[in-house]
Chain A
């Protein structure tokens, strides 16, 4: 159970309120061609160049389903540990909009391809299981552009008919932070599976957010509002914060929350009602007569299950066991498949603990600063591994390693070559070190006196001077040892 101090509660004037959140995530299936037509799905093409007569709903055109999209949703279902429905049905969801030429969206209503599953979230207060209600396949609509012309809207149908997986969670989420972790985990699972690229900037992952509030202790859910089509985690969080407060204010002033569709205005950080959607909400679903029921063979599901890659949860367990990582470290390293691949490449030839630190601290700081993904890392895994090996073997000090790391960032310059060329090898010869130390001591006789009379803080000063004199190359452990003896 959730520890009290982590509860996300809205403090109203009269009572404390709990926030109940459910998410409908629309994830674009990673496929070359569309769900029911063979036109391309690539992002960023010239408007209306990836459109066929099927996508524009010309009379007589018939949909033919993309086998790969079916398999992609089965894989995603298996990744969510969900039940795969061997029989599912495609329905028409009817509504009028300029970017929906068919006048209906082909979706799945009563019989989705994937049933109940779950996602495990790692929260600061422990793991939390969030139920998945269902996953179904559906078509995306086109894109309307409203800001080119003051009197008209422009319609681009490139996205029309692209396959989406709608992944519906149970109302198990309780805070904006849980929503953050949930979306990231779902995204990570799909990226491991290769079923969705999770690129939120390009609209491959968007969500409808269902929000309701109830007094702490109440069992019954309140009336919910649905905030449509939010396309970033930050906006989801802001929308939830605003919407929960709005509902609490209504309820505390004895007003009702209307069940309605709302829009998140990213400029005002507020949600507002989409009244026009209300009447259109009558979708008149019915089975699409152009499409037969989708029957799957259990053997196909079994085959896909066998081919499933190692997923973040399993990888995390393995990292903890095999590499002796803390759950926190393991979480960071498995959050993206590319990061875990990088880590496993680095530790092939060097100390695991040190590698974890170098990746999560130095490398991540570098990537953050330059706004790069790990695949674009200026320092290759093999090269970082070489650097770490030189630290553990005592060839260079940790401090020098940081300087070498900076130099490695230019063209992934070889760590060993940098060290050799610039003569950065750690000075571990006691005789050489003694020479330097004696010199520093004789140059600072006054400080030696002060040290001996009790000012022990000065030890650090001497170490600093010695490091400086050795150009940072002195082996710090040996320096400590020798210096302590000398100052006795």
Chain B
């Protein structure tokens, strides 16, 4: 599978990464060769293997339902480029 320039453009748009034409061309080449390398795995017969989502042989650790956080608005808003002391303020996003 090759990753053509349009696919690179599409992915970069979804990922909000801006790329110039030269970079797009280079990435298309690099990503295609990476895909080709990975495709080697397709030669392996995996009909009887169920998909693996984690290589760690353990189950998810959970916590109990207790409130142990929150009420740190000032700390949280401090890192935002723009706030009004209560909310994060962002450029208008509306449908």
Interface-side segment among A33-41, A204-212, A308-316, A414-422: A33-41
- Does B84 count as interface, using CB distance less than 8 angstroms? yes
How many A residues touch the partner, as a band? 35 or more
Asked whether B88 lies within 8 Å of A65 as measured between CB atoms, the reply is no
- The residue that B95 contacts in the complex, of A51, A156, A157, A263, with Cβ under 8 A, is A263
Which residues of A are found within 8 Å of B90, using beta-carbon distances? Answer: 98, 144, 152-155
Which residues of A are found within 8 Å of B60, using beta-carbon distances? Answer: 65, 291-295
Asked whether B69 lies within 8 Å of A49 as measured between CB atoms, the reply is no
Asked whether B95 lies within 8 Å of A274 as measured between CB atoms, the reply is yes
Given contacts A51-B73, A52-B72, contact A66 B87 (CB under 8 A): no
Asked whether B54 lies within 8 Å of A154 as measured between CB atoms, the reply is no
Asked whether A154 lies within 8 Å of B87 as measured between CB atoms, the reply is yes
Interface of chain B residues 14 through 41 with chain A (CB within 8 A):
14, 16
Given contacts A68-B64, A263-B95, A293-B53, contact A46 B69 (CB under 8 A): no
Interface of chain A residues 50 through 73 with chain B (CB within 8 A):
50-54, 56, 58, 64-70
How many B residues touch the partner, as a band? 35 or more
- The residue that A293 contacts in the complex, of B54, B64, B70, B94, with Cβ under 8 A, is B54
Asked whether B69 lies within 8 Å of A38 as measured between CB atoms, the reply is yes
- Does B1 count as interface, using CB distance less than 8 angstroms? no
Against B, the Cβ 8 Å flags (1 = close, 0 = not) of A76-118 are 0000000000000100001111100000000000000000000
- Does A250 count as interface, using CB distance less than 8 angstroms? no
Which residues of A are found within 8 Å of B91, using beta-carbon distances? Answer: 151-153
Interface of A is mostly: loop
- Does B48 count as interface, using CB distance less than 8 angstroms? no
Against B, the Cβ 8 Å flags (1 = close, 0 = not) of A276-317 are 100110101001010111110000000000000000000000
- The residue that B70 contacts in the complex, of A40, A280, A292, with Cβ under 8 A, is A40
Asked whether A67 lies within 8 Å of B62 as measured between CB atoms, the reply is yes
Asked whether A153 lies within 8 Å of B94 as measured between CB atoms, the reply is yes
Chain B: CB-nearest residue to A294 = B60
**Most chain B Cβ neighbours within 10 Å, of A146, A279, A280, A292:** A292
Interface of chain A residues 121 through 175 with chain B (CB within 8 A):
144-146, 149-157
Asked whether A292 lies within 8 Å of B58 as measured between CB atoms, the reply is yes
- Does B44 count as interface, using CB distance less than 8 angstroms? no
- The residue that B14 contacts in the complex, of A53, A146, A284, A293, with Cβ under 8 A, is A284
Chain A: CB-nearest residue to B86 = A47
Interface of chain B residues 45 through 68 with chain A (CB within 8 A):
53-54, 56, 58-68
**Most chain A Cβ neighbours within 10 Å, of B69, B71, B76:** B69
Q: Which residues of B come within 8 Å of A, CB atoms?
A: 10, 13-14, 16, 53-54, 56, 58-73, 76-77, 79, 82, 84, 86-95
Q: List 29 A-B contacts (CB under 8 A).
A: A32-B65, A32-B66, A33-B68, A38-B66, A39-B67, A46-B86, A48-B73, A48-B77, A56-B76, A58-B79, A65-B62, A66-B62, A67-B62, A67-B64, A97-B93, A144-B93, A144-B94, A151-B92, A152-B92, A153-B91, A154-B86, A154-B88, A156-B86, A156-B87, A276-B95, A292-B60, A292-B61, A294-B59, A295-B59
Q: Which residues of A come within 8 Å of B, CB atoms?
A: 31-33, 37-40, 46-54, 56, 58, 64-70, 89, 94-98, 144-146, 149-157, 263, 274, 276, 279-280, 282, 284, 287, 289, 291-295
